[in-house]
Structure 1
C-alpha cells in the first residue's frame, strides 16, 4: 500500500505524536489564497478540473515542465482533456510533493484509494465528480469536512472585505490579511493608477510619501476593525543602505515625475515603507509575514498572456541576510 495510515511515519514516536495528537488538531491556515467570495457563494465545482486545476499555478508549472501544451493547462481544451493531461503528468513526477498531495486528497477527501494514472483517470473522474455535486463537497462543505477552524485570506489594502463580513456567522473563521505589495512596489507601471485607487479607498489624497503612509494607516485600521491581525509582504530583497524620510519623499516624487528609479532607490523605498508599516502593525498588535527572495514573472511571454501568479515565479539568489538583519535591528531598537 502507498498511502497507509502510517505514511511517512517511520518510528513509534512519530506514530504516537501524529495519531494521538496532531491528527486531532483543527487546521488554522494563516496564509492562503482562497477567495472569500467563492467561500460565501458556496457554489459546487462542476468537476475535478475546476476544483484542482483551474487556479493552481503550481500544477500548471509542473504540467509545463512535462511538456504539456498550454491549451491543456490554461487554454480552451475540454476539462476532461486537461484532467487527463494532469494524470499523465503525475505519472512522471513520483517524488514531487504534488504527487503525494494529489493522491492523498483522493484518498482522504473522496475515499478513492487508487493512485491517479492515465489508465484509471476516467473512473476517478466519474467517482469524484459525482461527489463534487453534493452539499458535503461545496466550498464550505469541504472546509468543514477537513476540520478547518481559521482561514486567513490574502487581501489588498483597497479591498472592501465585504465577504469576510458576510461569513462572520460561519462555524469557521475567515479573516483578512493585509497585503500591500502594490503600494510598496513603486517600480511597477501600475503604481500611479494604484495610488488613485488607494486614495479613494482611504478617502485621502495621496501627494507625498507621508500621505501614502497615512492612507495605508487608514486602511490598516479598517482591516483591524474587520478581524485582521496579520500582514503579508513579498519582497525580493531588503535595502542595506542608510536612508531617512527626506530620501523616501524624494524617491516617491521622482517616481511620479520621471518614472525612472535605480535599484538602490527601489530597495530604499521598499524597506522604508515596510518599516513604517511595521510600526503601525505593532500598534495594532499584528504579526507580519515576510515572503523573501522570490523572483516574479520570469517568463515574460506567459506574464503578458496570463498576468501574475500564473506559474512564472522562481526562487531568487540575491543577497538577503544583511538587509534583513539591518531591518530587524532597526525595528528591535524601537520596540
Structure 2
C-alpha cells in the first residue's frame, strides 16, 4: 500500500514518475484565468489564519460544507470566529473522499505549510496552529506566494468598467509576477438581467463616456474600454454564457433590441437575447482578431439557480449547476461567421458539461489556421469537470480526436493565492496518462519526445498561445 499522498501521488508507473519529477514538476506556471482580486496582490496581503486564507471566497468549499449540513454562519462567516468556521470545514473533510477538494487541500498543506497530516475534526487544532505560524512569516504574503509558486504570469478576471487601479499599483509594487487584466464581458452580454439597463447606462456608459442608445453605441463603449484594458497589458476577452447561439441579424434589428431594453420597455424575448448576444460576441471576436488577443468562452453553467439563497448571499456564492442546453451549432456558426470575415482569433472554449468534451474536441479541428498550432482550443476541464475523472476524460478525448501535444494545459479558476497546486494536480494526471501509454507499448519510451510534450502542455504551449514567446522554457533551463 502506498503512503498517503506521497511524492508519487497519482503517478502509477515508473514512466509517469520520471516525467513528472524530471520535467512537469520543474516547469513554471502561467495562470491565464484567475479570480484572485488584484488588490490582494497590489497590497501584498498577509493572511491571519486558514479561515481567512481558505474560506473567505471559495464557493467550492462552501458547497461541500453546505452538503454536510453546516449552518451558513460557519460558511460565509459574518461574525462567526474563523477558528469555529475552520473546525466545521475540517470535520467535513474526511467525507470528501474522492472529491478533488480533498486532494487540493492536502497538496496545499504540503506545499505551503509542510504538513502531511490528514485534515479532520480531530487534527484541526494541529493543522490550524501549524498553518497560522507559517502564515505569520513574510514569505506567506500574496506576492511571495506567487513567487514561491513559480507563477510567471497571472491573468485576473475584470469587469470592463473597472478602473484597473490595482493593476497599475501592482506594476510599481515590485511584484515579480506579471499580473494582467482580462476583459470579462458578462455584464454587457446578459441583456436578460434586470440590472442590464443600469449597467449599460450608468456603469459601462459612464466608464466609456458614451451615451448608449444603439448597437453602435454598445460597440463604441466596449471598444473604448478594450483600448483602456490594452494599456494595462490585457490580451484576453472572456465571455461567460449559459448557451451559445448565433443568428445573422440586421443592424436595425439590433438597434431596436438595444433601444427597447435599455429604456426598460419589457423583458427580452429568447430570440432577442440570442440575436443581441451573438452579435456582441461576433464584435468581440473581431476585436480580438484585430488586436491579436484571445477570445475565451465559458459556457454550459446555470448560475444562481437558488433564488432564495441568491437574495440572501448574492451571486457567485456556490448555487450553480450544469446546463444541458446544446451549444454546438451556435459555437460553430459563430466561429464560421468570424472565419468568413477573416476575423477568427485564437479561441478557447470551456464547456461546463462533460458531455461536451467530444463535441468541442471535434469543433477545434474544424477551424485550423496556417502557421498557428491549435488556433481553437478546448480549455482545461472547467468547474464541475475539474476533478481527477474530468481531467482524465478531457485529456483522453483531446488525444483521441486531435493533438494532445498542442493543448494549453490548465488554470486555477480560483479566488485563492494558495490554489496553484491545482497545476501540480493536473500535471500529475497528465503524466500518469502519458506514462500508461508508454508502458503498454502504445508510445515509444523516448525521453526527448516525452519531455517536450510534457513541458509544452504544462507551460510552454500556453506561453506561446498567449504571446509570451520570451517566457518559453527550453529543456535544460527549467531551474534558471
Tell me which interval the TM-score lies in, with the shorter structure as reference length. Answer: over 0.9
- 1:333 aligns with 340
- 2:142 aligns with 139
- 2:175 aligns with 170
Runs (4 or more) in structure 1 with deviation over 2 Å come to: none
Q: Give the whole-Å Cα distance in 1 for the aligned partners of 2:213 and 2:88.
A: 51
Q: 1:291 aligns with which of 291, 298, 302?
A: 298
Q: Give the whole-Å Cα distance in 2 for the aligned partners of 1:246 and 1:12.
A: 64
Query: Residues 178 and 230 of structure 1 are in contact (CA less than 8 Å); yes or no, is this contact kept in structure 2?
Result: yes
The CA RMSD over aligned residues, in Å, is 1.1
Is 1:238 equivalent to 2:224 in the alignment?
no
- 2:11 aligns with 9
Q: Give the whole-Å Cα distance in 1 for the aligned partners of 2:210 and 2:306.
A: 37
TM-score, length of structure 1 as denominator length: 0.97
Q: CA deviation at 1:180?
A: 1.2
Specify whether residues 206 and 129 from structure 1 end up closer, same or farther in structure 2 by C-alpha distance, changes over 3 A only.
same
Q: CA deviation at 1:244?
A: 2.3
- 1:222 aligns with 228
Where structure 1 has 5 or more consecutive residues not aligned to the other structure, the ranges are none
SS at match of 1:89: helix
Q: Give the whole-Å Cα distance in 2 for the aligned partners of 1:2 and 1:124.
A: 16
- 2:424 aligns with none
- 2:438 aligns with none
Q: Give the whole-Å Cα distance in 1 for the aligned partners of 2:285 and 2:252.
A: 19
Count of residue pairs brought into register by the alignment = 335
Q: CA deviation at 1:240?
A: 4.4
Query: Residues 237 and 267 of structure 1 are in contact (CA less than 8 Å); yes or no, is this contact kept in structure 2?
Result: no
Query: Residues 231 and 289 of structure 1 are in contact (CA less than 8 Å); yes or no, is this contact kept in structure 2?
Result: yes
Query: Residues 143 and 175 of structure 2 are in contact (CA less than 8 Å); yes or no, is this contact kept in structure 1?
Result: no
Is 1:251 equivalent to 2:257 in the alignment?
yes
SS at match of 2:184: coil
* Greater alpha carbon shift after TM alignment, 142-151 vs 52-61: 142-151
Q: CA deviation at 1:9?
A: 0.8
Q: 2:320 aligns with which of 313, 317, 327?
A: 313
Is 1:49 equivalent to 2:60 in the alignment?
no
- 1:104 aligns with 107
- 1:66 aligns with 68
Q: Give the whole-Å Cα distance in 1 for the aligned partners of 2:247 and 2:166.
A: 41
Q: CA deviation at 1:30?
A: 0.3
SS at match of 1:31: strand
Is 1:205 equivalent to 2:207 in the alignment?
no
Q: 1:180 aligns with which of 163, 185, 190?
A: 185
Q: Give the whole-Å Cα distance in 2 for the aligned partners of 1:102 and 1:278.
A: 37
TM-score, length of structure 2 as denominator length: 0.68
Is 1:115 equivalent to 2:122 in the alignment?
no
- 2:287 aligns with 280
* Greater alpha carbon shift after TM alignment, 266-275 vs 75-84: 75-84
SS at match of 1:151: strand
| Higher RCO (C-alpha 8 Å, min separation 6) | 2
Q: CA deviation at 1:131?
A: 0.9
- 2:397 aligns with none
SS at match of 1:238: coil
SS at match of 1:174: strand
Specify whether residues 219 and 242 from structure 1 end up closer, same or farther in structure 2 by C-alpha distance, changes over 3 A only.
same
